[in-house]
């Protein structure tokens, strides 16, 4: 199944800037079978995990995490760019493969001990995921796992996620 899903990922060289090989997931989203199979694959490690919520960083992470929350019958926690969330927030800063940013979460979205999984479309350098983990840890979530549709293994983002349960549906080694 992994090989089939890879046919729906479009490589776009030099986007959004020279040297980046962008993994475009829009063809996969456009195909009902591929999208559904992606959500099934993301759900597999959490079938009996008793998650109370999945958390994801905007924007592409939302697409998979929202579908996954419905599939797993749990909640969804948006991790957002600065100044988007209206109530009291916690925030962390991080470095991207291209640029810097920070993310925020509503403090009351997570209670200590909440069983949460973190979802994103792509694991590249791991900076985004590591920041999201810090955010979850800061609010004392019980982070059950971290899942990606795509892992760019050559960038070794997992080094920032040591000691965590990390899952990837599709792995690219170059």
**Burial (CB count within 10 angstroms: exposed 0-12, middle 13-18, buried 19+), residue 141:** buried
The b-or-e profile of 67-79 (16+ CB within 10 A means b, else e) is: bbbebbebebbbb
The window from 104-112, 119-127, 134-142, 166-174 that contacts ligand AMP (CB under 6 A) reads: 119-127
Query: Hey, is 68 helix, strand or coil?
Result: helix
Among 38, 89, 125, 147, binds ligand AMP (CB under 6 A): 125
Rounded Cα–Cα distance for residues 25 and 170 (Å):
12
The window from 36-44, 77-85, 102-110, 126-134 that contacts ligand AMP (CB under 6 A) reads: 126-134
Of residues 25 through 54, those in contact with ligand AMP by CB under 6 A are: none
> Residues touching ligand AMP: how many (CB under 6 A)?
21
Rounded Cα–Cα distance for residues 5 and 42 (Å):
12
Smallest distance, Å, CB 74 to ligand AMP? 21
Cβ proximity to ligand AMP, 61 vs 145, nearer residue = 61
Reply yes or no on whether 97 is catalytic: yes
Smallest distance, Å, CB 124 to ligand AMP? 3
Which tokens belong to 61?
């992470």
Q: Which residues bind ligand AMP (CB under 6 A)?
A: 20-23, 57, 60-61, 96-97, 120-129, 152, 157
């Amino acid at each position: 199944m992994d090989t089939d899903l890879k046919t729906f990922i479009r490589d776009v060289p030099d986007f959004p800037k020279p040297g980046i090989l962008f993994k475009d997931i829009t063809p996969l989203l456009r195909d009902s079978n591929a999208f559904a199979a992606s959500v099934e694959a993301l759900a597999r490690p959490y079938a009996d995990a008793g998650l109370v919520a999945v958390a994801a960083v905007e924007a592409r992470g939302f697409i998979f995490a929202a579908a996954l929350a419905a599939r797993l019958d749990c909640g969804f926690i948006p991790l957002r760019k600065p100044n988007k969330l209206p109530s009291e927030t916690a925030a962390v800063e991080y470095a991207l493969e291209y640029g810097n940013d920070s993310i925020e979460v509503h403090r009351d979205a997570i209670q200590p001990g909440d069983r949460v999984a973190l979802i994103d479309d792509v694991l590249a350098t791991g900076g985004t995921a590591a920041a999201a983990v810090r955010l979850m840890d800061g609010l004392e979530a019980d982070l059950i796992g971290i899942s990606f549709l795509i892992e760019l293994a050559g960038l070794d983002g997992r080094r920032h996620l040591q000691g965590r349960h990390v899952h990837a549906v599709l792995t690219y080694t170059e």
